[in-house]
């Protein structure tokens, strides 16, 4: 993979974030330009993807004040208010509202030209703890927002773009001949297993989106993220990389709770966020786009080995990778063996072109986590 980032002399988490925000804005000049003077609502904006979805837009507003975009974040803060969002609260173009998307939308919410629905619990550890809440956010919360878009159209104030965050999990555990997986693959998913609350509510969410787009001619688009990682992903999240980094920063061996054989491609969050804004502003109505990277497809064990070796150079880490068995009997149930996207559609339709290598992304992540080794959980 090409590597547009420069790693030289990155010393702090702030350096990492500044480099990433500049990268995102450079690749979204046209898209952010098209949104200038408009209002954007992001639900779930306090989460991992919100970290760069929100901050890249605020960065744009600082460097292009005459083409600023006004931003509102709705979040229930089910897992606390992150420090970065508290720090942004003085920005004049940002309005943060505590709102649970399962509840009816506020009467006086105003006119938004762009909406992103990212509010949903995304970590398997947490959605299995809160399955009903997860389904309600993806189905009922989505429905309220789609009704809002329809109402705006009927009132002569049509929205310019709506983005629903679906997931690569809607493909379930694809048959070998369907990997790498294109958008046309229909999925191999359990509707009753421990992950079904997430996978199936995202699938139904997509069905809602497609039908609203078709029946009412609304600009509703869908993103299917494939394993995003990087700054903003809480160390307590329970996903693989933060778990490994937590072990590294505690100076203990990295513990794998599986044999580490399942494979994934990992997409650095700055590249992914560029893809999401491209779908929001330029995606085809009623269509879904894979957002991820095609290579390298590596095992979870190899990811742990790469983290070990990078951390040894960057942080003087001396640990190794060890295997243990999870006490949670459902930990690996329905966990896909391979996950790897075809991203030709996003490349062709939207000019999505991820360029940050795994090594750069992991280096940025380690530097960021070094200063973000704790996260509030409510
Ligand atoms: N990060 C990934 O790799 C990935 C992969 C596939 C899909 N997604 C999807 O992208 C979206 C964002 O993911 P993320 O990684 O940022 O997740 P996250 O869990 O880090 O953040 C989600 C945010 O939504 C908020 N939220 C949850 N339920 C809510 C509700 N009912 N009302 C209002 N706010 C609520 C949470 O407080 C949190 O701030 C989610 O819809 C997720 O399913 C992410």
Cis peptide before 232 (omega within 30 of 0): no
Predicted model pTM: 0.96
227 Cβ inside 6 Å of ligand 1: yes
134 Cβ inside 6 Å of ligand 1: no
Q: Residue 378's pLDDT is what?
A: 46
* Burial group, residue 121, by CB count within 10 angstroms (0-12, 13-18, 19+): buried
**What is the DSSP pairing of strand 263-265 with strand 297-299?**
antiparallel
- Name all contacts of 249-253 with Cβ < 8 Å and 24+ positions apart: 249/315, 249/369, 249/370, 249/373, 251/317, 251/318, 251/319, 252/319, 253/319, 253/320, 253/321, 253/322
Alpha carbon of 303 to ligand 1 centroid (Å): 23
Q: Residue 237's pLDDT is what?
A: 84
Nearest CA, atom 27, ligand 1: 120
Write out residues in the chain with pLDDT < 70, as ranges: 1-8, 329-334, 375-378
Q: Residue 169's pLDDT is what?
A: 94
42 Cβ inside 6 Å of ligand 1: no
79 Cβ inside 6 Å of ligand 1: yes
Scored b (16 or more CB within 10 A) or e, 170-186 reads bbbbbeeebbbbebebe
Cis peptide before 210 (omega within 30 of 0): no
Cβ distance 244 to 306 under 8 Å?
Answer: no
- The span from the CA of 254 to the CA of 321, in Å, is 5
* Burial group, residue 306, by CB count within 10 angstroms (0-12, 13-18, 19+): middle
Residue 126 CA: nearest ligand 1 atom is 19
Q: Residue 327's pLDDT is what?
A: 72
Q: Residue 337's pLDDT is what?
A: 86
Q: What are phi and psi of 360, to 5 degrees?
A: -65, -45
Active site residue 198: yes
- The span from the CA of 352 to the CA of 64, in Å, is 23
Ligand 1 pocket mutation, candidates 119, 171, 354, 372, criterion most atoms within 8 A of CB:
119
In sequence order, which ranges of the chain are alpha helices (DSSP H)? 13-27, 29-34, 48-63, 83-88, 124-127, 131-136, 142-154, 196-216, 240-249, 269-282, 300-315, 344-350, 358-370
- The span from the CA of 367 to the CA of 372, in Å, is 9
Alpha carbon of 67 to ligand 1 centroid (Å): 28
- What dotted CATH number matches 13-231+266-295+335-356? 3.40.50.720
Q: How many distinct helices (H) and strands (E) make up the chain?
A: 13, 14
Ligand 1 pocket mutation, candidates 42, 46, 48, criterion most atoms within 8 A of CB:
48
Q: Which residue has the tokens 């062709």?
A: 348
- The span from the CA of 236 to the CA of 189, in Å, is 27
Joined tokens for residue 333: 């149930």
Ligand 1 pocket mutation, candidates 101, 120, 126, 377, criterion most atoms within 8 A of CB:
120
């Amino acid at each position: 993979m090409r590597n547009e980032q420069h790693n030289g002399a990155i010393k702090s988490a702030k350096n990492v974030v500044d480099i990433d925000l500049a990268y995102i804005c450079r690749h979204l000049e046209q898209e952010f330009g098209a949104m200038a003077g408009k209002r954007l609502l992001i639900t779930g904006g306090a989460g991992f993807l919100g970290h760069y979805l929100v901050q890249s837009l605020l960065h744009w507003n600082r460097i292009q004040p005459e083409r600023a975009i006004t931003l509102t974040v709705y979040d229930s803060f089910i897992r606390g208010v992150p420090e970065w969002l508290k720090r942004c609260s003085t920005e004049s173009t940002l309005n943060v509202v505590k709102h649970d998307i399962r509840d009816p939308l506020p009467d006086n919410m105003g006119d938004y030209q762009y909406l992103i629905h990212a509010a949903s619990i995304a970590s398997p550890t947490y959605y299995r703890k809160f399955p009903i809440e997860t389904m309600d956010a993806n189905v009922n919360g989505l429905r309220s927002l789609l009704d809002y878009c329809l109402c705006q159209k009927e009132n002569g104030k049509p929205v310019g773009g709506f983005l629903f965050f679906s997931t690569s999990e809607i493909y379930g555990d694809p048959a070998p001949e369907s990997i790498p997986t294109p958008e046309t693959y229909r999925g191999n998913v359990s509707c009753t297993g421990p992950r079904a609350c997430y996978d199936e509510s995202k699938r139904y969410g997509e069905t809602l989106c497609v039908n609203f787009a078709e029946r009412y001619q609304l600009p509703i688009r869908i993103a299917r993220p494939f394993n995003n990682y990087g700054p903003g992903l809480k160390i307590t999240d329970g996903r693989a990389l933060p778990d490994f980094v937590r072990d590294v920063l505690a100076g203990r061996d990295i513990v794998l709770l599986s044999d580490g054989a399942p494979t994934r491609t990992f997409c650095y969050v700055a590249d992914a966020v560029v893809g999401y804004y491209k779908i929001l502003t330029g995606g085809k109505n009623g269509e879904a786009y894979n957002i991820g990277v095609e290579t390298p497809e590596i095992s979870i064990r190899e990811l742990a080995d790469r983290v070990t070796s990078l951390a040894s150079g960057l942080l003087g880490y001396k640990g190794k990778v060890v295997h243990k068995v999870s006490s949670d009997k459902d930990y690996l149930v329905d966990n896909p063996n391979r996950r790897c996207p075809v991203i030709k559609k996003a490349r062709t339709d939207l000019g999505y072109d991820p360029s940050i290598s795994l090594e750069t992304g992991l280096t940025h992540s380690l530097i960021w986590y070094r200063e973000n080794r704790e996260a509030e959980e409510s």
